[in-house]
Amino acid sequence: MAESGFEGFEKRLELHFTGNEPIIHMGLRQIDLSSLEQILRTVHCSIVSSVGNHFFDAYVLSESSLFIYPTKIIIKTCGTTQLLKSIFPFLHQARSLGLTLSSCRYTRGNFIFPKSQPFPHSSFKEELLYLEESLPENLHYRKASVIPSNLPSHSWHVFTAADDAALIHRNPEFLYTVEICMTELDRILARKFYFRSGDGKAGNSIGKEMTNLTGIGDINPSGLVCEFAFFPCGYSMNGIDGDRYSTIHVTPEDGFSYASFECVGSVYDDPDDLVRMLKKVVQIFRPAAMSVATTGASHEVWALVAGALDPLGLKCRSCAVDEFPSAGSVVFQTFTARRK
């Protein structure tokens, strides 16, 4: 493992709001581009590409992704970004639109280079103190936990907060989130995420080539992909399909290679769709180790994960579950290639 390098593991923040029905129609999507850019400068990242549809807007960032729905914001950033500093300005923008924060969820894995993280991300304790000070008092159902595993390099940090309404009306759409963190990527496959020497094309066009070359475009063929390639290496994409998003981020360098995949599903979906996506993702990267955090799903969903990965040579090394207000159950599984 390298002593220093780019931090691939993302920090992820999800904010849910409530408000009057006429305002909700566009809601947070009314935040103008200059205000978004100002918030992202506070976090130390910027917008490099974007796409939207009838349901939400998706932004590829210089460090990961931002999704804005009428009453929901999801932002995940890698590197040495200061993600939690986005809370105050997002709350300010929401209040100006007549929206009130009803729940919050913050998650992340283990940083590869924890000593490189700036305030307020130098430790989970510091992050929790910042969250407690940043969130309004009406979110009084709060819980924080570090879900362990048998792999020292993988554990799952979770903080949730919710008000009374969010606790009563928990997950009315029966959606779940799957967050996958992969390390020690296959070196040959990782080389596909490097710029070719002498190629003068822009990040958007090179990103599209990487999407096609690697098979990422086949993960969800019905979705629209917005991608970007970074110089000299690295790749990010957001996929949009109706009101669902997916996202991939790749740090391919030897010694600290990392890739993440995140998607949203429903308990009413065909389970074969999730299995097919998981298999495709693993085949694209062939990680030596990976973790899968499933939030808000039934037993049947996370049981599918191990069944999908086992035929690909990934053995489940640990499985732990914890329960959180408004977020429901969080199941954290770790896997390693049988060659290890």
Active-site residue 236, yes or no? yes
Amino acid at 49: S
- Least Cα distance to 79 among 249, 281, 290 occurs for 249
Active-site residue 169, yes or no? no
The length of the chain, given as a count of residues: 340
Active-site residue 35, yes or no? no
* 41 class by beta-carbon count within 10 Å (0-12 exposed, 13-18 middle, 19+ buried): exposed
Which own/partner contact pairs does 31-39 have at CB distance under 8 Å and 24+ positions apart?
31/68, 31/93, 31/97, 35/89, 35/93, 36/66, 38/89, 39/86, 39/89, 39/90, 39/93
Tokens 């990103």 correspond to what residue? Answer: 207
- Catalytic residue, chosen from 45, 62, 78, 149, is 78
5 torsion bin: left (phi>0), alpha (psi -120 to 50), beta (else): left
Residue 228 annotated as binding site:
no
Residue 67 annotated as binding site:
no
Which DSSP helix (H) or strand (E) runs through 54? none
Residue 132 annotated as binding site:
no
Residue 183's Cβ-side half-sphere holds a number of Cα atoms within 13 Å equal to 25
- Catalytic residue, chosen from 102, 103, 155, 236, is 236
Residue 230 annotated as binding site:
yes
Active-site residue 78, yes or no? yes
Angle, helices 87-96 vs 33-43, to 10°: value is 160
Q: Known binding site for substrate: residues?
A: 6, 63, 230, 253
By annotation, the residues acting in catalysis are 64, 78, 236, 249
Q: Known binding site: residues?
A: 6, 63, 230, 253
